Amino acid sequence: MGKRSRLVIKVGTGVLTGDGQDLSLEGMGNLVRQIAALLGGGHQVLLVSSGAIAAGRARLTVRPPRGDIPSKQMLAAVGQHVLMQTYDQLFGDHGITVAQTLLTKGDLRDRQGYLNARTTLIGLVEHGVLPIINENDVVAVDEIRVQPGRAADGAGREDDRLFGENDNLAAMVANLVDADLLVNLTNTGGLYTSDPRHDPAARLIPEVRRINHCIEALAGGAGTRQGTGGMRTKIEAAKLATASGIAVVIAPGSEPDVLVRLAAGETIGTRFHPAVSRREARKRWILSAITSRAALHVDAGAAAAIRHRGRSLLAAGVREVSGRFQRGDPVGVIGPGGERIACGLVSYDAAELHRIAGRHSGGIADVLGHSYGEEVIHRNNLVLLDPLPGEAGAQLPAGDAET
């Protein structure tokens, strides 16, 4: 990893409880200490944490008589603030401010929810705050649904649910914030040739360059009755993240200083290589605007700033708005001579841009009553279409800072 990498760390209930019934302060303290070291080393971290139901079960003196979904949602409601209070105290001892973020996958599938979550999470990490993210179990039931064939008596641990919808949420968050690495801390500690809980001859697979049918079958893919230690959703999550250009590591949460050692480049657990580079994945998405009629026509000064100085597009440089588009859509950027010079992800919708085109950035809030930032298209979200002398093909502009 680079000196200032952005990591999403997912930790499961078994790691937080040490495979017991209640949250382990020793185990959580060890996790917090390692994350504090990463933050102190200049990395940005987002933590996706399970554990709310386990915390709620420990807090109630009279446990609910049922193990059905409503009962577990109640436990999650009780335990979520306990979990956050514990994290707040532990991270506070290291001078780290935390922010609770409850999400559902539906929030991230909705356009406005996606953009608002992205803006908030990136803003938090850029200001040195640690977001602690969890599935909102009060309204989302995928994470706590009882496994078919299991007794729903309420006496089991939080693992008595479908494995790891937080795994998929972590992958979606990693994609949302353009993470460099997703680390999934588990009790199994990686992908094995067979289930290590039942086969002493099971061997760890240290590296996966491509997630194919064989890898999916090892993890318990379609048509497979048993995976290698609850790996199915972890591999699904790795497939989602690597397709977005994000590296993934599944590693043992009990391994001493596992996060610090991973950050230092040590091989632990199973590493999944990105299917494409992050830059290429983002470029493909942005370049989908090439055939779109949605475009912003800019003046000569804005065109020069974008093409030659790697600058963002500001409202003052926009002269005309064409087509219909929503905030976050890819649109074309047209120069004063009618040439398409770039594509980018726009921060305002078409109706808003009609109102603020040609205005200075400081006046956006006065016109609209709100602001999503000074940039109409941020330079990180721009791809040049016309190569400069000596360059070949579309590229991100000079000075781009992938974050």
Give one DSSP letter per residue of 246-300, joined into a string.
Answer: -EEEEEETTSTTHHHHHHTT---SEEE--SS-HHHHHHHHHGGGTT-S-EEEE-H
Q: What pLDDT does 287 receive?
A: 73
Q: Is the pLDDT of residue 398 over 80?
A: no
Q: Residues near 148 by Cβ (< 8 Å), separated by ≥ 6?
A: none
pLDDT tens per residue across span 285-305: 677 656 678 999 999 999 999
Tokens matching residue 279: 């830059």
Q: Is the dihedral of CA 201, 12, 54, 147 positive or negative?
A: negative
Mean pLDDT of 356-383: 92
β-bridge mates for residue 332, sequence order: 295, 343
Let me know: does 7 contact 183? Beta carbons within 8 Å: yes
Using the predicted structure, report yes or no on whether residue 150 has a pLDDT greater than 60: no
pLDDT band at 62 (very low <50, low <70, confident <90, very high): low
Q: Could you read off the pLDDT of 115-136 as tens digits, one per residue?
A: 889 889 999 999 999 999 988 7
What is the H or E stretch that residue 355 is in?
A: helix 350-356
* 310-339 average pLDDT score: 92
208 forms beta bridges with 272
pLDDT at 110 over 80: no
Least confident of 36-45, 61-70, 77-86: 61-70
- What is the spatial distance between Cα 390 and Cα 401, in angstroms, rounded to a whole number? 22
Question: Residue 110 contacts by C-beta under 8 Å, 6 or more apart in sequence?
Answer: none
Q: Are strands 295-298 and 318-322 parallel, antiparallel or unpaired?
A: antiparallel
pLDDT confidence band for 65 (50 / 70 / 90): low
Cα angle 315-321-323, degrees, rounded to a multiple of 5: 140
Of the candidates 282, 330, 340, 277, the one whose C-alpha atom is nearest the C-alpha of residue 306 is 340
Joined together, the tokens standing for residue 253 give 């949460």
Q: What is the pLDDT of residues 185-239, one digit of tens each?
A: 998 889 998 888 888 898 999 999 999 888 888 877 543 333 444 688 899 899 9
For the CA atoms of 161, 169, 18, 57, what is the dihedral angle to 10 degrees?
Answer: -50
Q: Which of 149-153, 194-198, 341-345 has the lowest mean pLDDT?
A: 149-153
Query: What's the mean pLDDT in 368-387?
Result: 86
Q: Which of residues 198 and 65 earns the better pLDDT score? A: 198
Residues paired with 34 in a beta bridge: none
Local confidence band at 369 (pLDDT 50, 70, 90 cut-offs): very high
What does the DSSP 8-state code read for residue 361? G
Which domains does the chain possess?
Answer: 6-276 (3.40.1160.10), 282-384 (2.30.130.10)
Angle CA 220–224–225, to nearest 5: 95
What percent of the chain has pLDDT above 90? 49
pLDDT reported for residue 319: 95
Contact status, residue 175 vs residue 187, Cβ threshold 8 Å: no
The pLDDT, as a whole number, for residue 159 is 35
Output the pLDDT for position 194: 86
- Determine contact, residues 231/191, Cβ cutoff 8 Å: yes
pLDDT at 75: 84
Residue 399 confidence (pLDDT) above 50: no
Contact between residue 8 and residue 132 where contact means Cβ atoms under 8 Å apart: no
Q: What is the pTM of this model?
A: 0.75
Token look-up 């933050």 returns: 39
Alpha carbon 396 to chain centroid, angstroms? 22
